[in-house]
Amino acid sequence: MFSFKPLLVGLTLATLSSSAFALTTIEQRDYDRLVSGDLTEVKKAAQSIVANNTNNAQVLDVLAEFVAQNYLHAPDYQLDTIAWACRALGETGNPRYRELLTSIVNSDAHKKVRKYAKRSLKSLPSTDASQYVVGSIDLKSIQKAPATNGSSLTGDDKAMFDIASGNLIEIKMLAQKYTTSGIPSQQVGDTLAEYFAQNYKTGQQHQYDTLAWVCKGLATDKNGRYKALIEDAEENSPIRAVRKHCPDEIEGKGPYYQAGTVDLVKVEKQLQ
């Protein structure tokens, strides 16, 4: 757990409550992680922001404030999280965080933190933009805000919610788990298969690695339920990583999963 230092500028809980923001499901999940007070959750949020190309300043400003409060005197156990946070601020391509990253690069912060801040700074455009003002957010107040949008789910329900909402970092971790332990249920498998069916031909670069893992995970189904989907992806996906990691032959006589069987939007709404 990390502690948030008092700020001179405080905003009320009502003003900064996550419910006041028009956030997507993934953005809300990352916001809740950032304000949880748990270092592991902050790191997951930063990784998710990178994976999902999040560029919502309402979320990123909270991440920026965490970095601003902790980068200079961070203990060793915080360094990896702060490095991920710096990377996330840079990969947004949002020049709003240029001054903060510049301050980090020119500071006496740990070399790992300065290294990632420098990389991120190079990826930001030099165009004029309103800069984030350190101290604009009272993290202690936000930390009291209740978590929402599926945060209380467990087991298969949580897995299906994460998949249906398109949370890349969670989907990748689930797929990696399934490659060794197998898919826990047909419901989860079908939800994962539908996500794959909707993306293996049109996925963006930041999705490639996740989609490759999903294909490997689906291939572990003992009944070969996803045989037709996987073999089509192996032959026809324009994504090299998907073609490489999808097996070209899978045992199984069906019935096979049919794309469109699961309504991901409906699943997400039901589990929120």
pLDDT digits (tens, 9 = 90+) for 128-141: 899 999 999 988 88
Average pLDDT over every residue of 176-192: 94
| pLDDT band, very low/low/confident/very high, at 1 (cuts 50, 70, 90) | very low
Rounded CA-CA distance 69/78 in Å is: 12
Do 39 and 111 lie in one domain? The reply is yes
Provide the pLDDT confidence category of residue 41 given band limits of 50, 70 and 90.
confident
pLDDT over 70 (residue 144): no
Does residue 91 form part of some domain? yes
106 within some domain: yes
Residue 205: the pLDDT is: 80
Answer whether residue 201 is part of any domain. Answer: yes
Instruction: Reduce the secondary structure of the chain to three states and give it as a string.
Output: CCCCCCCCCCCCHHHHCHHHCCCCHHHHHHHHHHCCCCHHHHHHHHHHHHHHCCCCHHHHHHHHHHHHHHCCCCCHHHHHHHHHHHHHHHHCCCHHHHHHHHHHHCCCCCHHHHHHHHHHHHHCCCCCCCCCCCCCCCHHHHCCCCCCCCCCCCHHHHHHHHHHCCCHHHHHHHHHHHHHHCCCCHHHHHHHHHHHHHHCCCCCHHHHHHHHHHHHHHCCCCCCCCHHHHHHHHHHCCCHHHHHHCCCCCCCCCCCCCCCCCCHHHHHHHHC
Residue 221: CB atoms within 10 Å: 21
Decide if pLDDT at 92 tops 80: yes
For range 173-177, the mean pLDDT: 92
Q: Are 245 and 212 in contact (CB under 8 A)?
A: yes
Question: Are 126 and 207 in a shared domain?
Answer: no
* In a domain? residue 264: yes
Query: How much is the pTM?
Result: 0.59
| Beta carbons of 110 and 75 less than 8 angstroms apart | no
AA letter at 263: D
Domain hosting residue 81, numbered range: 13-142
Give the separation between CA 144 and CA 129, rounded to whole angstroms: 31
Higher pLDDT among residues 132 and 127, named by residue: 132
Q: Is the pLDDT of residue 219 over 80?
A: yes
Domain termination residue (choose one: 82, 114, 142)? 142
183 to 35, 97, 131: CA distances (angstroms): 32, 41, 45
148 is a domain residue: no
Among the candidates 116, 142, 168, a domain finishes at: 142
Instruction: Indicate the pLDDT class of residue 18, thresholds 50, 70 and 90.
Output: very low
